[in-house]
Structure 1
Amino acid sequence: MISRRDALQRLTLLLGGALSAQLTAGVLGQVINLGPSVPISAAQQKLLTELADTIIPTTDTPGAKAAGAEQFIIRVMRDCYVLEDQEAFYAGLSKLEDDCHRLHNQSFVDLDAPRRHELVKQTAISNKAFFHRLRELTVTGYFCSEIGATKALEYLPIPGRFEGDVPFKPGQKAWAL
Protein backbone atom coordinates (compact mmCIF):
# COMPACT_ATOMS: atom_id res chain seq x y z
CA MET A 1 0.00 0.00 0.00
CA ILE A 2 1.29 3.48 -0.86
CA SER A 3 0.89 6.32 1.61
CA ARG A 4 -0.73 9.59 0.66
CA ARG A 5 2.61 11.35 1.13
CA ASP A 6 4.35 8.95 -1.26
CA ALA A 7 1.53 9.30 -3.77
CA LEU A 8 1.84 13.11 -3.73
CA GLN A 9 5.62 12.89 -4.10
CA ARG A 10 5.32 10.55 -7.06
CA LEU A 11 2.58 12.66 -8.64
CA THR A 12 4.77 15.74 -8.37
CA LEU A 13 7.65 13.91 -10.03
CA LEU A 14 5.29 12.59 -12.70
CA LEU A 15 4.05 16.09 -13.44
CA GLY A 16 7.64 17.19 -13.93
CA GLY A 17 7.76 19.28 -10.80
CA ALA A 18 4.67 21.30 -11.75
CA LEU A 19 4.32 22.21 -8.09
CA SER A 20 6.98 24.53 -6.75
CA ALA A 21 9.68 23.05 -4.54
CA GLN A 22 8.32 25.07 -1.63
CA LEU A 23 4.77 23.83 -2.12
CA THR A 24 5.91 20.24 -2.53
CA ALA A 25 7.90 20.51 0.70
CA GLY A 26 4.87 22.02 2.42
CA VAL A 27 2.59 19.20 1.28
CA LEU A 28 5.13 16.72 2.59
CA GLY A 29 5.32 18.53 5.93
CA GLN A 30 8.96 19.50 5.52
CA VAL A 31 10.61 22.66 6.82
CA ILE A 32 13.07 24.11 4.32
CA ASN A 33 13.15 27.71 5.57
CA LEU A 34 15.37 27.77 8.63
CA GLY A 35 15.70 31.55 8.60
CA PRO A 36 13.43 34.27 9.94
CA SER A 37 9.74 34.45 9.12
CA VAL A 38 7.15 37.20 8.82
CA PRO A 39 4.88 37.31 11.89
CA ILE A 40 1.17 37.00 11.05
CA SER A 41 -1.49 39.07 12.79
CA ALA A 42 -4.98 37.85 13.63
CA ALA A 43 -6.36 40.32 11.05
CA GLN A 44 -4.11 38.87 8.32
CA GLN A 45 -5.18 35.35 9.25
CA LYS A 46 -8.84 36.33 9.05
CA LEU A 47 -8.23 38.03 5.69
CA LEU A 48 -6.51 34.87 4.37
CA THR A 49 -9.44 32.79 5.62
CA GLU A 50 -11.96 34.91 3.73
CA LEU A 51 -9.80 35.13 0.60
CA ALA A 52 -9.36 31.36 0.49
CA ASP A 53 -13.10 30.93 0.97
CA THR A 54 -13.73 33.33 -1.90
CA ILE A 55 -11.51 31.20 -4.13
CA ILE A 56 -13.11 27.90 -2.98
CA PRO A 57 -16.51 28.80 -1.49
CA THR A 58 -18.90 26.48 0.27
CA THR A 59 -21.32 24.94 -2.22
CA ASP A 60 -22.69 21.42 -1.92
CA THR A 61 -19.28 20.65 -0.38
CA PRO A 62 -17.51 22.58 2.38
CA GLY A 63 -15.24 25.41 1.24
CA ALA A 64 -11.69 26.45 2.00
CA LYS A 65 -12.69 28.05 5.29
CA ALA A 66 -14.12 24.79 6.62
CA ALA A 67 -11.02 22.93 5.42
CA GLY A 68 -8.68 25.33 7.24
CA ALA A 69 -6.81 26.24 4.05
CA GLU A 70 -5.52 29.45 5.66
CA GLN A 71 -3.61 27.37 8.24
CA PHE A 72 -1.92 25.49 5.40
CA ILE A 73 -1.04 28.77 3.66
CA ILE A 74 0.43 30.27 6.84
CA ARG A 75 2.42 27.14 7.67
CA VAL A 76 3.81 26.68 4.16
CA MET A 77 4.75 30.35 3.86
CA ARG A 78 6.52 30.22 7.25
CA ASP A 79 8.22 26.83 6.85
CA CYS A 80 8.99 26.70 3.13
CA TYR A 81 9.45 30.21 1.72
CA VAL A 82 12.41 32.48 2.40
CA LEU A 83 11.82 35.81 4.11
CA GLU A 84 11.84 37.82 0.84
CA ASP A 85 9.11 35.61 -0.68
CA GLN A 86 7.07 35.85 2.51
CA GLU A 87 7.39 39.63 2.52
CA ALA A 88 6.29 39.80 -1.12
CA PHE A 89 3.28 37.55 -0.44
CA TYR A 90 2.13 39.50 2.63
CA ALA A 91 2.74 42.79 0.80
CA GLY A 92 0.30 41.51 -1.85
CA LEU A 93 -2.16 40.68 0.91
CA SER A 94 -1.78 44.20 2.35
CA LYS A 95 -2.20 45.76 -1.11
CA LEU A 96 -5.46 43.86 -1.61
CA GLU A 97 -6.73 45.11 1.76
CA ASP A 98 -5.61 48.68 0.97
CA ASP A 99 -7.37 48.53 -2.42
CA CYS A 100 -10.49 47.30 -0.66
CA HIS A 101 -10.44 50.22 1.78
CA ARG A 102 -9.77 52.68 -1.06
CA LEU A 103 -12.60 51.34 -3.24
CA HIS A 104 -15.21 50.35 -0.65
CA ASN A 105 -14.20 52.02 2.64
CA GLN A 106 -14.39 48.57 4.23
CA SER A 107 -12.19 45.64 5.02
CA PHE A 108 -12.32 42.67 2.66
CA VAL A 109 -13.78 40.52 5.44
CA ASP A 110 -16.76 42.92 5.70
CA LEU A 111 -17.60 42.91 1.98
CA ASP A 112 -20.46 40.94 0.48
CA ALA A 113 -19.68 38.04 -1.88
CA PRO A 114 -20.13 39.91 -5.22
CA ARG A 115 -17.75 42.72 -4.21
CA ARG A 116 -15.25 40.16 -2.87
CA HIS A 117 -15.31 38.33 -6.20
CA GLU A 118 -14.81 41.57 -8.12
CA LEU A 119 -11.85 42.58 -5.97
CA VAL A 120 -10.26 39.13 -6.34
CA LYS A 121 -10.71 39.35 -10.13
CA GLN A 122 -9.04 42.78 -10.15
CA THR A 123 -6.18 41.42 -8.03
CA ALA A 124 -5.73 38.50 -10.44
CA ILE A 125 -5.09 41.08 -13.18
CA SER A 126 -3.19 43.78 -11.27
CA ASN A 127 -1.05 41.55 -9.03
CA LYS A 128 -0.70 38.26 -10.91
CA ALA A 129 2.27 36.91 -8.94
CA PHE A 130 0.47 37.31 -5.61
CA PHE A 131 -2.80 35.92 -6.92
CA HIS A 132 -1.19 32.86 -8.54
CA ARG A 133 0.67 32.01 -5.34
CA LEU A 134 -2.47 32.56 -3.23
CA ARG A 135 -4.54 30.39 -5.55
CA GLU A 136 -1.88 27.66 -5.70
CA LEU A 137 -1.61 27.54 -1.91
CA THR A 138 -5.37 27.66 -1.41
CA VAL A 139 -6.15 24.88 -3.87
CA THR A 140 -3.35 22.66 -2.61
CA GLY A 141 -4.26 23.27 1.03
CA TYR A 142 -7.89 22.51 0.32
CA PHE A 143 -7.39 19.29 -1.60
CA CYS A 144 -4.75 18.02 0.85
CA SER A 145 -7.16 18.54 3.75
CA GLU A 146 -9.47 15.81 4.99
CA ILE A 147 -12.50 17.79 3.84
CA GLY A 148 -11.11 18.36 0.34
CA ALA A 149 -9.98 14.77 -0.07
CA THR A 150 -13.15 13.14 1.26
CA LYS A 151 -15.97 15.61 0.49
CA ALA A 152 -14.89 17.25 -2.77
CA LEU A 153 -13.10 14.22 -4.24
CA GLU A 154 -13.84 10.52 -4.25
CA TYR A 155 -11.74 8.89 -1.57
CA LEU A 156 -10.83 5.26 -1.24
CA PRO A 157 -8.92 4.90 2.05
CA ILE A 158 -7.58 1.45 1.19
CA PRO A 159 -7.00 1.33 -2.54
CA GLY A 160 -7.43 -1.96 -4.33
CA ARG A 161 -5.73 -3.05 -7.49
CA PHE A 162 -4.97 -0.64 -10.32
CA GLU A 163 -7.63 -0.33 -12.98
CA GLY A 164 -6.47 2.21 -15.54
CA ASP A 165 -9.65 2.54 -17.58
CA VAL A 166 -12.71 2.80 -15.37
CA PRO A 167 -15.61 4.85 -16.74
CA PHE A 168 -17.02 7.60 -14.53
CA LYS A 169 -20.64 7.38 -13.49
CA PRO A 170 -22.71 10.49 -14.30
CA GLY A 171 -22.00 13.15 -11.65
CA GLN A 172 -19.14 11.17 -10.06
CA LYS A 173 -16.34 13.21 -8.47
CA ALA A 174 -12.68 12.92 -9.48
CA TRP A 175 -10.58 10.62 -7.31
CA ALA A 176 -8.43 11.85 -4.40
CA LEU A 177 -4.88 10.59 -4.03
Structure 2
Amino acid sequence: MPDYGFERIGKRLFAEHLVGGNFGNMSVRDGDAGFFIKKTGAYLDAPGEPVFVPFEGPVPKDASSEYRVHLAVYRTTPYRAIVHAHPPYAVAASLVTDEIRPLDSEGEMFCPTIPVTTGAPGTQGLANAVAEEMRHNKLVIARGHGTFAAGATLDEAFLLTSLAEHACKVIALKKMFLQ
Protein backbone atom coordinates (compact mmCIF):
# COMPACT_ATOMS: atom_id res chain seq x y z
CA MET A 1 0.00 0.00 0.00
CA PRO A 2 1.39 3.44 -0.87
CA ASP A 3 2.03 5.95 1.93
CA TYR A 4 -1.06 8.12 1.74
CA GLY A 5 -0.02 10.13 4.80
CA PHE A 6 -2.44 8.71 7.38
CA GLU A 7 -0.02 8.98 10.33
CA ARG A 8 1.36 12.39 9.26
CA ILE A 9 -2.10 13.93 8.89
CA GLY A 10 -3.26 12.24 12.09
CA LYS A 11 -0.41 13.92 13.96
CA ARG A 12 -1.41 17.30 12.50
CA LEU A 13 -5.04 16.77 13.55
CA PHE A 14 -3.91 16.07 17.13
CA ALA A 15 -1.40 18.94 17.18
CA GLU A 16 -4.11 21.41 16.15
CA HIS A 17 -6.66 19.95 18.61
CA LEU A 18 -9.02 18.95 15.81
CA VAL A 19 -9.48 15.46 17.28
CA GLY A 20 -9.12 13.97 20.73
CA GLY A 21 -8.52 10.47 21.97
CA ASN A 22 -9.45 8.01 19.27
CA PHE A 23 -12.09 10.29 17.69
CA GLY A 24 -12.29 10.86 13.95
CA ASN A 25 -11.13 8.92 10.94
CA MET A 26 -9.55 9.28 7.51
CA SER A 27 -9.78 7.44 4.24
CA VAL A 28 -8.23 7.40 0.78
CA ARG A 29 -9.86 6.03 -2.35
CA ASP A 30 -7.91 3.24 -4.01
CA GLY A 31 -9.00 3.25 -7.64
CA ASP A 32 -12.42 1.87 -8.51
CA ALA A 33 -12.30 -1.06 -6.09
CA GLY A 34 -12.71 0.68 -2.73
CA PHE A 35 -10.85 2.71 -0.13
CA PHE A 36 -8.48 2.45 2.80
CA ILE A 37 -9.82 3.73 6.13
CA LYS A 38 -8.42 3.87 9.65
CA LYS A 39 -9.56 1.09 11.96
CA THR A 40 -12.34 1.66 14.44
CA GLY A 41 -10.99 2.96 17.72
CA ALA A 42 -7.53 3.63 16.24
CA TYR A 43 -5.59 6.71 17.29
CA LEU A 44 -5.13 8.81 14.18
CA ASP A 45 -1.58 9.84 15.12
CA ALA A 46 -0.32 6.30 15.73
CA PRO A 47 1.22 3.94 13.21
CA GLY A 48 -1.07 1.23 11.95
CA GLU A 49 -2.30 -0.12 8.70
CA PRO A 50 -5.72 1.10 7.60
CA VAL A 51 -8.23 -1.48 6.41
CA PHE A 52 -9.54 -1.85 2.87
CA VAL A 53 -13.28 -1.39 2.36
CA PRO A 54 -14.51 -2.58 -1.05
CA PHE A 55 -17.17 -0.63 -2.90
CA GLU A 56 -19.04 -3.92 -3.28
CA GLY A 57 -19.03 -6.76 -0.82
CA PRO A 58 -18.64 -7.24 2.92
CA VAL A 59 -17.08 -4.51 5.07
CA PRO A 60 -14.28 -5.59 7.40
CA LYS A 61 -15.47 -5.62 11.02
CA ASP A 62 -12.55 -3.43 12.14
CA ALA A 63 -13.31 -0.60 9.66
CA SER A 64 -14.14 2.75 11.24
CA SER A 65 -17.76 3.07 12.36
CA GLU A 66 -18.13 5.98 9.91
CA TYR A 67 -17.25 3.83 6.87
CA ARG A 68 -20.82 4.39 5.59
CA VAL A 69 -20.19 8.12 5.18
CA HIS A 70 -16.91 7.55 3.34
CA LEU A 71 -18.53 4.92 1.10
CA ALA A 72 -21.48 7.18 0.25
CA VAL A 73 -19.22 10.15 -0.52
CA TYR A 74 -16.93 8.11 -2.76
CA ARG A 75 -19.90 6.63 -4.62
CA THR A 76 -21.38 10.07 -5.40
CA THR A 77 -18.34 12.36 -5.82
CA PRO A 78 -14.92 12.35 -7.47
CA TYR A 79 -13.08 13.01 -4.18
CA ARG A 80 -10.07 10.83 -3.40
CA ALA A 81 -9.60 11.50 0.33
CA ILE A 82 -11.77 12.29 3.37
CA VAL A 83 -10.92 13.54 6.86
CA HIS A 84 -13.54 13.32 9.61
CA ALA A 85 -12.62 15.28 12.74
CA HIS A 86 -14.25 16.65 15.88
CA PRO A 87 -13.04 20.28 16.05
CA PRO A 88 -14.66 21.78 19.16
CA TYR A 89 -15.50 25.25 17.83
CA ALA A 90 -16.98 23.82 14.63
CA VAL A 91 -19.01 21.26 16.60
CA ALA A 92 -20.26 23.99 18.96
CA ALA A 93 -21.21 26.27 16.07
CA SER A 94 -23.12 23.42 14.43
CA LEU A 95 -25.40 23.26 17.47
CA VAL A 96 -26.74 26.78 16.92
CA THR A 97 -26.87 27.29 13.15
CA ASP A 98 -27.66 25.52 9.88
CA GLU A 99 -24.65 26.91 8.04
CA ILE A 100 -21.40 28.62 8.88
CA ARG A 101 -20.44 31.76 6.97
CA PRO A 102 -16.76 32.41 7.67
CA LEU A 103 -15.82 36.01 8.45
CA ASP A 104 -12.07 35.62 7.94
CA SER A 105 -10.49 36.19 4.53
CA GLU A 106 -9.30 32.59 4.01
CA GLY A 107 -12.68 31.18 4.96
CA GLU A 108 -14.50 33.58 2.66
CA MET A 109 -12.12 32.74 -0.18
CA PHE A 110 -11.94 28.96 0.09
CA CYS A 111 -15.23 28.00 1.69
CA PRO A 112 -17.70 30.90 1.87
CA THR A 113 -20.45 28.67 3.24
CA ILE A 114 -20.08 25.53 5.34
CA PRO A 115 -23.36 23.60 5.49
CA VAL A 116 -24.50 21.87 8.66
CA THR A 117 -26.34 18.58 8.22
CA THR A 118 -27.91 16.05 10.55
CA GLY A 119 -27.84 12.33 11.22
CA ALA A 120 -26.80 10.04 14.02
CA PRO A 121 -23.11 9.01 13.99
CA GLY A 122 -22.37 5.76 12.18
CA THR A 123 -25.76 5.59 10.44
CA GLN A 124 -26.81 5.40 6.83
CA GLY A 125 -28.90 8.53 7.45
CA LEU A 126 -25.78 10.53 8.25
CA ALA A 127 -23.98 8.96 5.29
CA ASN A 128 -26.75 10.01 2.90
CA ALA A 129 -26.96 13.55 4.32
CA VAL A 130 -23.20 14.15 4.18
CA ALA A 131 -22.84 12.64 0.69
CA GLU A 132 -25.67 14.84 -0.62
CA GLU A 133 -24.02 18.00 0.75
CA MET A 134 -20.61 16.93 -0.52
CA ARG A 135 -21.90 16.73 -4.07
CA HIS A 136 -21.67 20.56 -3.96
CA ASN A 137 -19.25 21.26 -1.07
CA LYS A 138 -15.86 19.92 -0.01
CA LEU A 139 -16.65 20.57 3.64
CA VAL A 140 -19.70 19.86 5.82
CA ILE A 141 -20.35 19.75 9.55
CA ALA A 142 -22.57 17.04 11.03
CA ARG A 143 -24.57 18.75 13.78
CA GLY A 144 -23.05 18.08 17.18
CA HIS A 145 -20.68 15.50 15.72
CA GLY A 146 -17.88 16.89 13.56
CA THR A 147 -16.54 17.89 10.18
CA PHE A 148 -16.23 15.85 7.02
CA ALA A 149 -13.79 17.35 4.53
CA ALA A 150 -12.83 15.91 1.16
CA GLY A 151 -10.34 16.56 -1.58
CA ALA A 152 -7.80 15.07 -3.93
CA THR A 153 -5.48 14.20 -1.01
CA LEU A 154 -5.55 13.90 2.77
CA ASP A 155 -3.56 17.14 2.86
CA GLU A 156 -6.34 19.03 1.07
CA ALA A 157 -9.00 17.50 3.32
CA PHE A 158 -6.91 18.37 6.40
CA LEU A 159 -6.56 22.00 5.30
CA LEU A 160 -10.33 22.30 4.93
CA THR A 161 -10.80 20.76 8.37
CA SER A 162 -8.39 23.29 9.84
CA LEU A 163 -10.12 26.10 7.95
CA ALA A 164 -13.50 25.14 9.42
CA GLU A 165 -12.16 25.27 12.97
CA HIS A 166 -10.35 28.55 12.38
CA ALA A 167 -13.46 30.16 10.87
CA CYS A 168 -15.60 29.05 13.82
CA LYS A 169 -13.01 30.34 16.32
CA VAL A 170 -13.01 33.74 14.60
CA ILE A 171 -16.81 33.90 14.76
CA ALA A 172 -16.77 32.96 18.47
CA LEU A 173 -14.04 35.47 19.27
CA LYS A 174 -15.86 38.25 17.42
CA LYS A 175 -18.98 37.58 19.50
CA MET A 176 -16.88 37.59 22.68
CA PHE A 177 -15.30 40.95 21.82
CA LEU A 178 -18.70 42.47 21.05
CA GLN A 179 -20.00 41.67 24.55
- TM (norm. structure 2) is 0.27
Higher strand share: 2
- TM (norm. structure 1) is 0.28
Of structures 1 and 2, the larger Rg is shown by 1
Higher helix share: 1
